[in-house]
Structure 1
């Protein structure tokens, strides 16, 4: 990840929209960043917003979005409201000339996400997704290793995100948990490798009216495969991912603070036909290697702090953020295709090459 630029001479005026679950985290990090000056906190519940800020804050509180967008000192907004409200709020902000950061997912549907991406591009404004996990030290290192070819060609990815979680009223487990894993996959895949199709299977064992357990399978353009398990019903919490390459395999255990990443020089080697004698060509030779395990050191740092710095960099330089609107759109396309597959009993749904490129 490129280092953040020096803080501008004049801090970027920022407003946070939404003071519920995620809004307070954004408020704290924007207030701590020298690149920003938090000017407004907007929420339908003014008392809740005031409690988030505390009694001595000079940040203004309002229940009216129009009041925020009319302020010429507000250069950018950060939206932490339900997904169904992202389109109208973000569109209004873009049309008011404000840069926009949106909590995941980018929008409620792919079509709505496309509207936001097109609007931002037309106006030359930054549109960024708060794919927070992508800015964790572990995921940034995974991206670095994959992009540098340290694991070799990626053969498989197996991700597990399960817990005894809050069963949502309006979305299934795929839309609740899988955006994290899909955004990470989009972020770390080596250049030229992309998902080409997705199949989803799910179950509702408790009669919630929506899938509470689901498995997603993604075909990758290099012939590899990615598998995602999301689950609200597990009595234990698991956050792991395995990235299997032709050279090495990386294991990420997000719940193990003493060793989040482990790189294994262990795997399977297959002799290519060119290396074999004519009479051996029919039998591919397989050998197993068992080398060292290395645990890369990570500089622990709050992911949101890094994300806020990336937002400032994108606004200041005009360059796309690492998790820009198009990244959010790619995640939405997979989610929407997974929903179709889920409804059809696991049909493999092809993804649009133009959008995934």
Structure 2
């Protein structure tokens, strides 16, 4: 196939059309007003074509690899064809790479691709591998709350099992978003519609923290398995009630502490498993969110990781810094120790201009391990050396863990009891900061 035809098929494939809408020869003919029989095509021409006609710009608001902005319609002239093309080896290789990349981006709505190289896995928008779809007998899920994080959960569960319904509080933009991307999913503003739906096996709660307890309680009472985005509840007392109800109903109660399911954190746990830890420090710099308190919104992650990584309760802590804008706390620093003697520090800042999540672990043996933004490093003689971790999306791994609990009845590390323990610590921190 000549290079011109290769470009034609690349443009057509990215635009989502089966046939090319215009030949490369026609394009240059229209641009230059000349009769073209032999076309010299470069990467610059290809970029100009895509930019001028807006054929394949990934949609920023879809968050999916199959989202393409609809291209401008081009009238195809049927009486012209490109006779040939001449290009350098570099141009040929560049176009071929772009063509292959466009081919791999043609996914269907569930993330599956007819041309994916590995049939057992697909890549998400973030580039990580996710497992293939589960069989149709997998638990059917309803997502409650389709804000920013709810949309992420909807995507991940849709890639793994059947999402049959969504509940929202009346924002028409969110309802339209679901209808556009997931037309088979029912959307309702009445929570009872979800609870009364016999198709729904599990409810995923991704709503403001002060609504977690009530929504989870009603779902458990309706004999639904429940996934609650962290923290489990607004108070430890409410969390304890949910744990007791889940036990009585024999339902899965799962808390969405996504960092616990991060493969780099799992590797960190393995790396420090046999060592005595001298000190661990948590640093989180980001901007926002400001709609909920910093303790339950951000520090809850660090408390959950302390509990998971070291399997020890917090023995005591002191608030070193608690500052913020107006009457809220935006910068919080804690120092404390665990029951096994491990010292820890937590620093959270949600009015920072940078975005960085890091955990530094120092062992008595003199080793230093650093988790930073989903990567793991070990301090070498002169610099940090990367530690290999599994190429898995953390949120996808979390959703997979919940579905496995529902299917097998096993207990997750982030079950209701785990969430209750974290909420007990959060209550203590809130009391100290207030």
Range into which the TM-score falls when normalised by the shorter chain: 0.7 to 0.9
Classify 1:117/1:305 alpha carbon distance in 2 versus 1 (closer, same or farther; 3 Å): same
Instruction: Tell me, yes or no, if structure 1 residue 324 matches structure 2 residue 418.
Output: no
Q: Secondary structure at the match of 1:22?
A: helix
Contact 2:136 2:162 in 1 (8 A): no
TM-score of the pair, normalised by structure 2 = 0.65
Compute the displacement of 1:8 (Å).
5.8
Q: Secondary structure at the match of 1:320?
A: coil
363, 370, 390: which one pairs with 1:299?
Answer: 390
TM-score of the pair, normalised by structure 1 = 0.79
Query: What corresponds to 1:196 in structure 2?
Result: 315
Instruction: Write the mapping of 1:83-122 to structure 2, written as runs, cut at 5 A.
Output: 83-122=209-248
Contact 1:16 1:80 in 2 (8 A): yes
Greater relative CO (CA pairs within 8 A, separation 6+): 1
Q: Distance in 1 between matches of 2:135 and 2:246?
A: 22
Instruction: Write the mapping of 1:69-148 to structure 2, written as runs, cut at 5 A.
Output: 69-147=195-273
RMSD of the alignment, in Å? Answer: 2.3
Compute the displacement of 1:231 (Å).
1.1
Contact 2:322 2:333 in 1 (8 A): no
Greater displacement, 238-247 / 46-55: 46-55
Any stretches of 5+ residues in structure 2 without a counterpart?
Answer: 1-130
Instruction: Tell me, yes or no, if structure 1 residue 158 matches structure 2 residue 281.
Output: yes
Deviations 1:75-113 (A, max 9, x none): 101000011111111000000000000011111111111
Q: Distance in 2 between matches of 1:167 and 1:71?
A: 35
Compute the displacement of 1:177 (Å).
1.4
Deviations 1:98-132 (A, max 9, x none): 00000111111111111111111111110001111
Classify 1:213/1:292 alpha carbon distance in 2 versus 1 (closer, same or farther; 3 Å): closer
Query: What corresponds to 2:406 in structure 1?
Result: 315
Greater displacement, 55-64 / 196-205: 196-205
Contact 1:163 1:233 in 2 (8 A): yes
* Higher-strand-fraction structure: 1
Contact 2:323 2:332 in 1 (8 A): no
Q: Distance in 2 between matches of 1:75 and 1:13?
A: 5
Q: Distance in 2 between matches of 1:302 and 1:52?
A: 23
Runs of 4+ in 1 over 4 A off after TM superposition: 6-9, 290-294
Of structures 1 and 2, the larger Rg is shown by: 2
Q: Secondary structure at the match of 1:39?
A: strand
Compute the displacement of 1:67 (Å).
1.0
Deviations 1:186-214 (A, max 9, x none): 2222x4x33222322433353x2122211
Contact 1:15 1:77 in 2 (8 A): yes
Q: Secondary structure at the match of 1:125?
A: coil
Instruction: Write the mapping of 1:258-277 to structure 2, written as runs, cut at 5 A.
Output: 260-264=375-379
